[in-house]
Amino acid sequence: MSLPTFVSREIESGGRPLYSRKEKSLGLLCSNFLTLYNRDDVDAIGLDDAASKLGVERRRIYDVVNILESIGIVTRRGKNRYTWKGYGEIPRTLEELREEGLRENFSNLGPGNSSRFVDDNESGESINVKSDDNSFASMKADNKREKSLLLLTQNFIKLFLCSDVDIITLESAAIALLGDSNNSTAMRTKIRRLYDIANVFSSMNLIEKIHHPESRKPAFRWLGWEGKHYSESATALDLNETKKRVFGYDITNYSLKRNKVGSSSDWISDQKENMRMHSKHDISESNHDVHKLKQHSKQNSKGFVFGPFTPANIKGDSENNNVRRLMDWENLASSYKPQYRNQALSDLFGHYVEAWKSWYAEVAGKEQIQQGS
């Protein structure tokens, strides 16, 4: 009961809707999470700490962490605690997943597949010979594990790694990963999860959202982690910035729920809207894949990852000794005229800049408050 849920379409004095789903996307949260912890002096990650630092509910941290764990970036150390492993684990983990997937015949995507994930596992000793109720319990636990975000994520990846196709529709992925069951509800739920996963992977540029060449349907293309260089240990050149004005607020924006009004925290309300970059005159957004050899994302010294909208500015030559370092994003955003494919991307970029400045201010502001406990 309850939850009136009458669309309280609050409009901030000015015409700007005071709630944007894009600002709270898992992908953005993931980027912030990675940027926050991709440092050499980071080892343990406290979930509470992460939640408060990133300004989100704990529930969301679970989502991000579970997905990141599937790639090996972090590992569960124990209750409320994870260990940062770093991007270096990605290639290794992907390779393992590929082999594992091949071993499990994960290359079947088409209909009538009846893909069966054997669900291997390390602790392959289930001695539950019988014991009625006992086996029931383990069965339930097993069933739950099979539905876990972590496993779903890994299976999703296997789909790409073990198949000749590199463009997959979430629907097809759901069908393949669902094994069978034509249940419409299960399908819808599965796709919801895949969207979540796709979001964070997109933010990491492991995959890219596109429109199927012919089908026109939205799909995702595997990009992989190959050329992506990261700086395992944050170089010194960051955090030395000072000419950047410090914003008082931090990324903590618990308020602004979907409907609820929430305290009018002036999050993005300021006037940095002057960085309206129009979507350039169509850049020959030709019919089929213009995405040929685009160089998605580069990362700055701190490991911050750009979305699929890498400003053509830094893409110059691929991963040279990325000595670029911290260019002034504010200027870039307001003066540089990037060739974004569309308004959405430019908007997203704006949000990234915003988010980046936010946590940057926080981090720079109060040193690295290494979480203890």
Partner DNA sequence: CGATCCCGCCACTAA
Partner DNA sequence: TTAGTGGCGGGATCG
> Which residues form the interface with DNA (CB under 7 A)?
3, 5, 7, 9, 17, 19-22, 24-27, 47-48, 56-60, 62, 65-66, 78-81, 137, 140-141, 144, 147-150, 170, 185-186, 188-189, 192-193, 195-196, 198-199, 209, 217-218, 257-260, 344
Closer CB to DNA, 193 or 302, in the complex: 193
Task: Decide whether 85 or 193 has the Cβ nearer to DNA.
Answer: 193
Closest to DNA by CB, 3 or 323: 3
> Residue 202 is encoded by which pair of tokens?
């997109």
In the chain, the amino acid numbered 128 is: N
**Beta carbon nearer to DNA, 9 or 281:** 9
Looking at beta carbons only, is 217 or 337 nearer to DNA?
A: 217
Nearest-approach distance from CB 59 to DNA, in angstroms = 4
Shortest gap between Cβ of 238 and DNA (angstroms)?
A: 27
Phi, psi of 98 (to 5 degrees): -65, -50
We find the least distance from the C-beta atom of residue 2 to DNA, in angstroms, to be 8
CB contact set of 17 (below 8 Å; sequence gap of 6+) = 9, 10, 11
Min dist CB 278 to DNA, Å, is 15
Specify the 3-state DSSP secondary structure of 204. Answer: coil
Closer residue to DNA (CB): 83 or 259:
259
Q: To the nearest whole angstrom, how small is the minimum distance from the Cβ of residue 235 to DNA?
A: 30
CA angle 18, 21, 26 (to 5 degrees): 140
Gap between the Cα atoms of 356 and 244, Å rounded: 12
Give the residue with the Cβ less far from DNA, 34 or 149: 149
Nearer to DNA, 26 or 305 (CB): 26
CB of 61 to DNA, least distance (A): 8
3-state secondary structure of 113: coil
Phi, psi of 61 (to 5 degrees): -65, -35
> Exposed, middle or buried, 65 (CB in 10 Å: 0-12/13-18/19+)?
buried
Smallest distance from DNA to CB 207, Å: 11
Task: Return the number of the residue (209 or 280) whose C-beta is nearest DNA.
Answer: 209
DSSP one-letter string for 138-196 = HHHHHHHHHH-HHHHHHHHHHHHHTSS--EE-HHHHHHHHT-S---HHHHHHHHHHHHH
Q: How far is the CB of 8 from DNA (least distance, A)?
A: 7
345-349 long-range contacts, CB within 8 A, separation 24+? 345/279, 345/307, 345/308, 345/309, 346/277, 346/278, 346/279, 346/309, 347/22, 348/22, 348/307, 348/309, 349/277, 349/306, 349/307, 349/309, 349/311
User: How many angstroms separate the CA atoms of 24 and 141, rounded?
Assistant: 32
Instruction: Provide the minimum distance between the beta carbon of 362 and DNA in the complex, in angstroms, as a whole number.
Output: 19
